[in-house]
Amino acid sequence: MARLVRDLGLKTCLEGVVEKLEEDYSRWETFQKVARTANHCDLGVVELMPSSTDEEFAFKYVNGHPKNYLQGMSTVMAFGALSDLRTGWPNLLSEMTLLTAIRTAATSVFVAKLLARPNSRRMAMIGCGSQSEFQIVAFNELMGVREFTVFDTDPHAAAKLNRNLGHLNITVCESTAEAVSGADIVTTCTADKLRATILTGDLIEPGMHINAIGGDCPGKTELAADVLTKGRVYVEYEPQTRVEGDIQQMPADFPVTELWRVLERPSEGRTTETEVTIFDSVGFALEDFSALRWVYQMCQRHAYGEPIDLMPIMPDVKDLYGHSGLVLSLV
Ligand code: NAD
């Protein structure tokens, strides 16, 4: 995956995934959708994310363990598969740790293009971990955002981001409030398994678009309740976000709009320069489906990847026993 991304360039990869997201969100009603399964422990969660059309099926295995860095492992790690739903034959088994960072950044931009002010030039990035550079590059390359103010409670993380993206206009700030002040777009991408309040209502300015990525599990939020009442809240798949998103802290009938409705009817999106828009992102299986579809297309087009012996190919498909060499010799 890293070779593919280096060869094609991150911008091309992000554009490719955004294109697939646009295609798939536009045919939302043709998807078989389900909220992901999540197996929790006190340190984190392992999730399975399936989705399909009538023809293709995809799933992702992904974890979320904010303290994993203490054991030399990432907070988020993933792999997944894309298969033919008509036969069940898997066509692609793929790494998805790097791919998740790309698809999450692509999703952020896909949504911001629908909801943020088109002339947005400055973004605050709160949380400078694994996802952060991908977010910044996506907003810079695909949305023309030129100025980034960043903050992380871990100064090493902010310094790492600054080092990796030295060619961009980045200001490392001393606090969330300093980073957020005057921003057109605010992206929160922190990891802590608690009800955090990274953003509070007093920090929100007219016209801001909030891209809240890190609150994605029961008991793990980033936005104070008074942020969620500042503007209209947009979600990927309502049944999943009610449980996992920042809106888990709101009443069950708190109004939200699913993103696909904005594609269908743009008046469901931003209508004035001054309103606040809030994307309560948790990550939905359809986005991984789109990303895997793009990877498969690239593998076919540019001959990446290699065949692996995962499924049996047998001269007599009913003779699994014989093919497996289990028939005892009588001599
Ligand atoms: P990471 O652990 O690499 O980085 C998280 C960073 O947040 C760390 O550098 C940490 O120091 C910082 N942080 C924690 N508390 C903070 C605070 N109060 N203020 C400022 N910074 C703070 O994690 P990552 O891989 O970058 O993922 C970030 C979050 O995004 C995770 O919670 C993950 O579950 C979530 N995520 C969501 C999606 C989605 O689709 N919505 C996709 C991928 C990851």
Are 34 and 143 in the same domain? no
By alpha-carbon position, which residue is closest to atom 7 of ligand 1? 190
How many angstroms separate the alpha carbon of residue 191 from the centre of ligand 1?
3
Are 162 and 267 in the same domain? yes
How many angstroms separate the alpha carbon of residue 202 from the centre of ligand 1?
22
Is residue 241 within 6 Å of ligand 1 at its C-beta?
no
How many angstroms separate the alpha carbon of residue 274 from the centre of ligand 1?
28
Are 290 and 279 in the same domain? no
By alpha-carbon position, which residue is closest to atom 9 of ligand 1? 129
Are 238 and 310 in the same domain? no
Q: Which of 68, 137, 190, 199 to mutate to test the pocket of ligand 1 (most atoms within 8 A of CB)?
A: 190
How many angstroms separate the alpha carbon of residue 159 from the centre of ligand 1?
16
In a domain, 92, yes or no: yes
In a domain, 186, yes or no: yes
Q: Which of 76, 203, 241 to mutate to test the pocket of ligand 1 (most atoms within 8 A of CB)?
A: 76
Are 150 and 48 in the same domain? no
Structural domain boundaries enclosing 85 = 2-98+286-323
Task: In whole angstroms, give the CA distance from residue 92 to residue 60.
Answer: 12
Are 92 and 163 in the same domain? no
Is residue 240 within 6 Å of ligand 1 at its C-beta?
no
Low-confidence residues of the chain: pLDDT under 70: 331
Are 143 and 52 in the same domain? no
User: SS3 letters for the chain?
Assistant: CHHHHHHHCHHHHHHHHHHHHHHHHHCHHHCECCCCEEEEECCEEEEEEEEECCCEEEEEEEEECCCHHHHCCCCCCEEEEEEECCCCCEEEEEECHHHHHHHHHHHHHHHHHHHCCCCCCEEEEECCCCCHHHHHHHHHHHHCCCEEEEECCCHHHHHHHHHHCCCCEEEECCCHHHHHCCCCEEEECCCCCCEEEEECHHHCCCCCEEEECCCCECCEEEECHHHHCCEEEEECCHHHHHHHCHHHHCCCCCCCEEHHHHHHCHHHCCCCCCCEEEEECCCCHHHHHHHHHHHHHHHHHHCCCCCCCCCCCCCCCCCHHHHCCCCCCCC
User: Is-contact 148 119, C-beta < 8 A?
Assistant: no
The CATH number of whichever domain residue 189 belongs to comes to 3.40.50.720
101-151 pLDDT tens trace: 999 999 999 999 999 999 999 999 999 999 999 999 999 999 999 999 999
Is residue 281 within 6 Å of ligand 1 at its C-beta?
yes
In a domain, 255, yes or no: yes
In a domain, 93, yes or no: yes
| Entry pTM | 0.97
Active-site amino acid positions: 216
Task: For residue 76, give the ligand 1 atom closest to its CA.
Answer: 25
Is residue 128 within 6 Å of ligand 1 at its C-beta?
yes
Are 257 and 180 in the same domain? yes
Residue 217 to residues 118, 134, 194: CA-CA distances in angstroms? 30, 21, 9
In a domain, 89, yes or no: yes
In a domain, 274, yes or no: yes
Residue 329: the pLDDT is 77
Is residue 286 within 6 Å of ligand 1 at its C-beta?
no
Residue 254: the pLDDT is 98
Are 218 and 312 in the same domain? no
Are 278 and 197 in the same domain? yes
Are 124 and 272 in the same domain? yes
Are 161 and 94 in the same domain? no
Last residue of a domain, one of 283, 298, 313: 283
In a domain, 110, yes or no: no
How many angstroms separate the alpha carbon of residue 269 from the centre of ligand 1?
27
296-316 pLDDT tens trace: 999 999 999 999 999 999 999
In a domain, 113, yes or no: no
Is residue 191 within 6 Å of ligand 1 at its C-beta?
yes
How many angstroms separate the alpha carbon of residue 214 from the centre of ligand 1?
5
Task: For residue 66, give the ligand 1 atom closest to its CA.
Answer: 2
Number of domains in the chain: 2
